Amino acid sequence: MAAKGGGKGETWIQEQGQQHKPKGLVAAFSEIQNYFMSERKGSPIQEEFFTFGGKIAFFEVGFKGGLLSALLSVLLTPFAIGVVEANLPIFGTIHPSGFDKFFAFAIALSFSTGYALLFAGLGKYYIGIITKSAIKNLLLGVFLAAAIKGILAFLAFHFIYFVMLEPQRLGKFLLQFSWLVKGGALPWVYQSLLEFRPVFLTSAYFVLITSALMILIPVAGIAIGKRKTEKAMAQEALYTGSGAQPVK
């Protein structure tokens, strides 16, 4: 480890070639904070310090985190839309109130928007060559996961709507299980699935919206946070009379 600075402002940067590769979001955020503190105080970090392996590590962390959020969002979306369109009961009733609809949407959006807001907070660290590179590679993984989620979910939900739940095909499929079902249960299942069918078409476009939010929110957060940090650093340099220029 190589020490840079001293006192309370002391930061520690690992020697080039011994760069730590984060395994999770917490580790990745911690690394970004370390890079930020060093570059903000003017401690030089060579661009070669951030190796190709380091860039891939940050990309993988962002991609895995984005996929987890995407999977949960895709699974919850049809249930949320089903509640809003009164196809699924919530809190014991199939006639949802305004609060019930809001609650269902909040659940469906919570993972995507939560992750997006988390990454948007990186904007305040978006200065310096190494810090910027780490954030860019982390977000690249997140954005790729969001794009893949949007495309695959859009196609999957359309496949379910147009192929799997096509009335004649669905009827033939359910008839294969007529020997297992007694009474009028089979027609009820058939009718229920047909009523739920439009939910998948709505969900397909809803997922595209959440995927776009997963990209737009961090981009907006980075732009706003970067501007605030640069302004704060400029004011700090002015008040302290150090003459230091904000790190770009």
Give residue-wise pLDDT tens across range 192-217. Answer: 899 999 999 999 999 999 999 999 99
In a domain, 19, yes or no: yes
Kind plus residue range of the DSSP H or E element containing 38? helix 25-40
Domain that holds residue 58: 2-156+207-240
pLDDT at 248 over 50: yes
Rounded CA-CA distance 4/9 in Å is 9
Q: For residue 204, what pLDDT is reported?
A: 95
pLDDT band at 73 (very low <50, low <70, confident <90, very high): confident
**What is the number of other CB atoms lying within 10 angstroms of the CB of residue 228?**
12
Q: Hey, which residues does 13 pair with through a beta bridge?
A: 2
Residue 167, classed as helix, strand or coil, is helix
Domain membership flag for residue 234: yes
Residue 56 lies in a domain: yes
Q: What is the pLDDT of residues 94-151, one digit of tens each?
A: 677 777 778 877 877 887 888 899 999 999 999 888 999 999 999 999 999 999 999 9
Q: Is the pLDDT of residue 2 over 90?
A: no
User: Above 60 in pLDDT, residue 7?
Assistant: no
Question: To which H or E segment does residue 68 belong?
Answer: helix 52-84
Any domain includes 248: no
Say if 128 falls within a structural domain.
yes
Cβ partners under 8 Å of residue 19, min gap 6: 49, 50, 51, 53, 54
Q: 182 lies in a domain?
A: no
Angle between helix axes 129-159 and 25-40 (nearest 10 degrees) is: 150
Region at 117 (left for phi over 0; alpha for psi -120 to 50; beta for the rest)? alpha
pLDDT band at 19 (very low <50, low <70, confident <90, very high): low
Q: Give the closest residue to 140 by CA, choosing from 73, 58, 213.
A: 58
Residue with tokens 């959440």: 210
Quick check: 22 pLDDT over 80? yes
What pLDDT score does 76 carry? 87
* Cα(119)–Cα(134) distance, integer angstroms: 12
Q: Is residue 33 part of a domain?
A: yes
* Residue position matching structure tokens 């020697």: 15
Is pLDDT larger for residue 96 or for residue 223? Answer: 223
Closest-CA residue to 203 (of 94, 87, 120): 87
Using DSSP's 3-state secondary structure scheme, residue 201 falls into helix
In a domain, 45, yes or no: yes
Query: What is the C-alpha separation between 121 and 115, in angstroms, rounded?
Result: 10
Total domains, the chain: 1
